[in-house]
Amino acid sequence: RATSENEPMRAYAPSMGQIFLRRFQLVTQFRSALENGQISVHYQPKIALPSRQVIGAESLVRWKHPEFGRVDPDEFIPAVEATGLVDVLTDFVMDKGLERVRRWMDRDLRMSIAVNLSVRTLADEEFPDRVKEALDRHRVPPELLTFELTESGVMADPERALPVLRRLHTMGVVLAVDDFGTGYSSLAYLRQLPVDEVKIDKSFVLGMGTDLGDMAVVRSIVELGHSLGLTVVAEGVEDDAARDQLVGMGCDVAQGYLISRPLSEERFEAWLRARTVQ
């Protein structure tokens, strides 16, 4: 955090040097952290509306750092993204996710897994081959794998991202636009992208109960998404009121603390059993 000249220095504010050092450490320690199990993947369920049936989960990475404690993905992913290592992370998360899908299939559960893609991965023309290889290896059909991409990620380099997206889409993998509504060229570009799903940014869903503007944004994204033939997902669903409003608007899928927080592999499986075997 930068300190302005007329603001007194606070003892706890890390200096620029400390911030830089921490970021440097996160980048240089990332690969070994992956190898020695400090990085894990948590899963947050998604349910269909209005049935509330569990249809899948989003993969969210966690880093338990020996010195810093829990480090949020919002901090280490941008740091790692600047290096080639983010591809290693994507492959790790995809592999774990497909392994889960395979186990569910073996129990006759048809649920999909969503993996977040970084800007870097979208520019990698070999990525679709790795996806194909991973799907084959785990014997998972492509429609049970979803990639979530942000608008800024695609727009960073559309010339390179589009061919990659088209290939993934042709393979039958599901593509979702994440954090929808936060960018500025949303409407115009949504039609040009080979996507199947829009995910309404949680800031609008969280604000829906108290802010009529947020409510209007959510409603119009649901309508826009449906008019383009897309599945509409709301994230950040924290209470019954929000869920009921989304059902009323015709939103297709909900994800958020109301349903469950992101859970470790073991806890997700326990949650699933408790929910389905009753």
Q: Which residues bind Ca ion (CB under 5 A)?
A: 116, 148, 178-179
Among 30, 54, 98, 116, binds ligand C2E (CB under 6 A): 116
Identify which of residues 3 and 84 has a Cβ nearer to ligand C2E in the complex.
84
236: left (phi over 0), alpha (psi -120 to 50) or beta: left
Half-sphere exposure of residue 163: CA atoms within 13 angstroms, side-chain side: 8
Minimum Å distance from CB 253 to ligand C2E?
13
Which one of the spans 124-132, 137-145, 231-239, 266-274 is the region binding ligand C2E (CB under 6 A)?
Answer: 231-239
**Binding range to ligand C2E, per CB under 6 A, among 10-18, 21-29, 54-62, 187-195:** 54-62
Closest to ligand C2E by CB, 74 vs 106, is 74
Side-chain-side CA neighbours of residue 258 (13 Å): 19
Our CB check for ligand C2E shows the closer of 29 and 44 to be 44
Q: Judged by CB under 6 A, does residue 77 bind ligand C2E?
A: yes
Cβ at position 78, least distance to Ca ion in Å:
11
Write out the two tokens for 56.
């899948």
Can you give the C-alpha Rg of the chain in angstroms? 20
Of the CA atoms within 13 Å of residue 26, those in its CB half-sphere come to 27
257 belongs to the binding site for ligand C2E (CB under 6 A): yes
Q: Which residue, among 231, 235, 177, 225, has the nearest Cα to 204 in the 3D structure? A: 235
Which of 30, 45, 56, 59: binder of ligand C2E (CB under 6 A)?
59
The amino acid at residue 160 is R
| Binding test (CB under 6 A) with ligand C2E, winner from 128, 181, 225, 262 | 262
Under the binding rule (CB under 6 A), the answer on residue 118 touching ligand C2E is yes
Residue with tokens 């983010």: 86
Residue (112 or 277) nearer to ligand C2E, CB: 112
Give the span between the Cα atoms of 247 and 123, in whole angstroms: 37
What is the C-alpha to C-alpha distance for residues 18 and 270, in angstroms, rounded to an integer? 40
CB of 61 to ligand C2E, least distance (A): 4
Minimum Å distance from CB 155 to Ca ion? 16
Contact between 27 and ligand C2E by CB under 6 A: the answer reads no
Question: Amino acid identity, residue 259?
Answer: I
Indicate the SS3 state at residue 31.
Answer: helix
- Contact assessment for residue 59 and residue 113, using Cβ atoms and an 8 Å cutoff: yes
Query: Binding residues for ligand C2E, per CB under 6 A?
Result: 44, 59-61, 72-74, 77, 89, 93, 116-118, 148, 178-179, 202, 235-238, 256-257, 262
